[in-house]
Structure 1
Amino acid sequence: MTEQGATQGSAVLSWMPVAVMAVVAGADVVAGPGVGLLPLVSLGPAFSGLIGGWRRTALIGAVALLVCVALGMYDGLFEERRGFTAMASVAGVTGVGIAAAVTRSRREAELASVRSIAEVAQRVLLRPVPRTAGPLQAAVSYTSAVAEARIGGDLYEMVASPHGIRVIVGDVQGKGLAAVETAAVVLGAFREAAHEEPDLVGLGERLERSVARELEGEKFVTAVLAEIGSDHGVVFLNYGHPAPMVVRRDGGVDFPQPPAYALPLGLGAHGGDGPKPYRVDFVPGEQLLLYTDGVTEARDADGSFYPLGERADLLKEPDAGRALEGLREDLVRHVTGPLHDDAAMLLLRYHGHGEGKSVPIR
């Protein structure tokens, strides 16, 4: 729903108690005292207690009582018990509505506080990547499948280390707080090891030990590590993760595959060789997109996967942040609704080795 639609919906709900009382009053005047519609005036404060604050509910309740008195006198109901019974009904419903509004307001305040704390924790966990690092321009996008959440089980980080610019994009098995906790373990280990380990294989082995120590059972994390040095190339280490996308200077698209597929992080104890590093040319004017399977496995109404390679033209936008946002918006349009899985994307643009010149993206 758009912001304008949500505003219109809120306006309709805010006027609903008044509209209900007006309809009941009109029907009572037309039908006469024999029909017994007067107690339905209590629907006004009842609706207000569900959607409004306690002050507004009390005001609507006072108006309902005045309407009840006026209609009771018009119908002559105070000559018998029906008028007083209707007033008692309105007063009782108003009291319950005020109590419900107070309780709801308190819970909304508690929820807002919890969300605020969660957002701070999430910003600490998934810190903004630097816009530039050496010869690279970077941008990141994260769309959580959990409603109103900022992060879930996907993770990303970029570190300028003494050994080159090192990047990780990963996807934790599962969702919710458990997945966020696992993501914190992986990112903490990566941030430390990226500065200390002299090669990418040692970095990966360090992550494997950290994840295996913290995870239980069959939980795992798919991830791709990348290291961009000064030799016009990027070295990858792939732990069962989707292959990165490289957009060449001429607009061509490559998805460089690992020489052999390896198990995700956390499953090293099940045997099998670890991943082998492989190098791919990456020169000024080219782009590298690391992403999670929430991007390529997003389906439209017909069940078709998102054609990431065919959408590479969207990355021609000169500003990396706007280019990635355009790709994210196209992904959301493809699924015509909320994503069913978290979708993280990290875009790196190679602009040269400090020559002070930007190479245009064609």
Structure 2
Amino acid sequence: MRLPHRPLGQGQPWRHRPGLIAVPIGLIVAIMAVDLVTGADIHLGPLLVVAPAITAAIGGPRLTAVIGALAVGAEVALSAIFGRLTTADQQAQIGAILAVSLFLVAFRIVFERHEQTLDQTRLVADVAQKVLLRPLPSRIGPLRIASLYIAAEAEARIGGDLYAAVRARQGTRIMIGDVRGKGLAAVGDAALLLGAFRAAAHRRPPLPRLVAHLHNTVYWDVAEPTAGPDADECFVTAAVLEIPDRGEQIQLINCGHPSPLLVRDGEVTPLAVREPSLPLGLGGDLTEDDYACEPFAYRDGDLILIFTDGVIEARDAKGVFYPLAERLAAYKDSGPQELIDHVHADLLAHTGGTLNDDVALVAIQRCP
């Protein structure tokens, strides 16, 4: 696949705010005017180097070269007006402005090349994330769904948090998980688990058998001799829900993951299982007998929020954790997308816009 190429200077601030070009040009004009007014005894020409220096911060190499040429031309013009063009001191000043301008142009060229490489990397990561963490549809059967993924690092696109929904016969299966590893190993485990879930969930095996399959997929991948030195640190906390199209009950298996929250008539209830299972990948080779579903009431209009611990472990400036259940109790709207938007905005306000961990959220509502 050929990725688009960005021309030099395309992402510079002056292209979005052309008025910025007036700043270095205005400086050149102002320095020349003041130098002419103060006379030959005061030499302000060397200050002209400020113009290309500022341009390098707001423009690309071409614009920096143009402003540098204007600065050199202005210094030559001032030298000619005051009759000192042939003096060694004046020629040294002209050479210095020229040298600095050339250095700034070279710097901008190198910086632009680096930005192009970074842009290509970001684009590849965006494509990879869309393949790995497919956006959930807004409607699956009788369910309305909204989801959100936020990377902790501003430049990150892929992390260890994951979610997926699969339409099975007469129901929907939804999984959320958090890989407890780091780097490419975490991304690889997330991709492996998502692939296993999507391949098996639609065949409608009993939920314990499905979760045992997911566990063994992670476990045996970690046990491979080629898994790498960091593989022993990798495991996955996960919650897997089965929501039938009919009836007023859902089934849940929780493998060491934060309990989903049920929002009903302004009340928030954790869907806490009595016997949580080990995280996926821990505990050896397991069978469906090692897992048990737990039922929970789920009526028309109820909202379920599943999330990773990056939400409830987010802290404010005083170190206070984000009180998710408390905030949900004060939530008055009624749709999953509105709920996700509300939690997103409230979470960023709580943390001051900075997150220390990836965050994944999925809201599910059964429609009448």
Shift of 1:251: 2.1
Is 1:44 the counterpart of 2:51 in the alignment? yes
For each residue in 1:223-245, what CA deviation from the matched residue of structure 2 results, as whole angstroms up to 9, or x when unmatched?
A: 11111123311111111100000
Is 1:83 the counterpart of 2:90 in the alignment? yes
Aligned residues: 346
Residue aligning to 1:282: 298
Give the TM-score normalised by structure 2: 0.84
Is 1:183 the counterpart of 2:190 in the alignment? yes
For each residue in 1:155-197, what CA deviation from the matched residue of structure 2 results, as whole angstroms up to 9, or x when unmatched?
A: 0001111263101011112444432222111101111121235
Q: Is the 8 A contact 2:185 2:234 kept in 1?
A: no
Partner Cα distance (2:129, 2:78) in 1:
56
Query: What is the one-letter code of the residue matched to 1:296?
Result: I
Written as runs of structure 1 = structure 2, the 5 A alignment for 1:1-362 is 17-18=24-25, 21=28, 24-25=31-32, 28=35, 37-162=44-169, 164-215=171-222, 216-229=231-244, 230-248=246-264, 250-269=265-284, 274-313=290-329, 316-352=332-368
- When residues 14 and 344 of structure 1 are mapped into structure 2, their CA distance, relative to the original with a 3 A threshold, is farther
Residue aligning to 2:5: none
Partner Cα distance (1:280, 1:70) in 2:
84
Q: Give the stretch that moved more between structures: 17-26 or 100-109.
A: 17-26
Q: Which runs of 5+ in 1 are unaligned?
A: 1-5, 353-362
Query: What is the one-letter code of the residue matched to 1:312?
Result: L
Shift of 1:320: 2.4
Residue aligning to 1:356: none
Between the aligned residues of both structures, percent identity stands at 39
Secondary structure of the residue that 2:328 maps to in structure 1?
helix
Partner Cα distance (1:23, 1:116) in 2:
43
Query: What is the one-letter code of the residue matched to 1:241?
Result: H
Partner Cα distance (1:315, 1:340) in 2:
25
Secondary structure of the residue that 2:214 maps to in structure 1?
helix
Secondary structure of the residue that 1:93 maps to in structure 2?
helix
Query: What is the one-letter code of the residue matched to 2:192?
Result: V
Shift of 1:331: 1.0
Q: Is the 8 A contact 1:285 1:349 kept in 2?
A: yes
- When residues 205 and 324 of structure 1 are mapped into structure 2, their CA distance, relative to the original with a 3 A threshold, is same
Secondary structure of the residue that 1:217 maps to in structure 2?
helix
Q: Is the 8 A contact 1:163 1:195 kept in 2?
A: no
- When residues 10 and 158 of structure 1 are mapped into structure 2, their CA distance, relative to the original with a 3 A threshold, is same
- When residues 102 and 189 of structure 1 are mapped into structure 2, their CA distance, relative to the original with a 3 A threshold, is same
Could you say what the CA RMSD is over the residues aligned between the two structures, in angstroms? 2.9
Secondary structure of the residue that 2:85 maps to in structure 1?
helix
Q: Is the 8 A contact 1:227 1:235 kept in 2?
A: yes
Q: Is the 8 A contact 1:136 1:350 kept in 2?
A: yes
Q: Which runs of 5+ in 2 are unaligned?
A: 1-12, 223-230
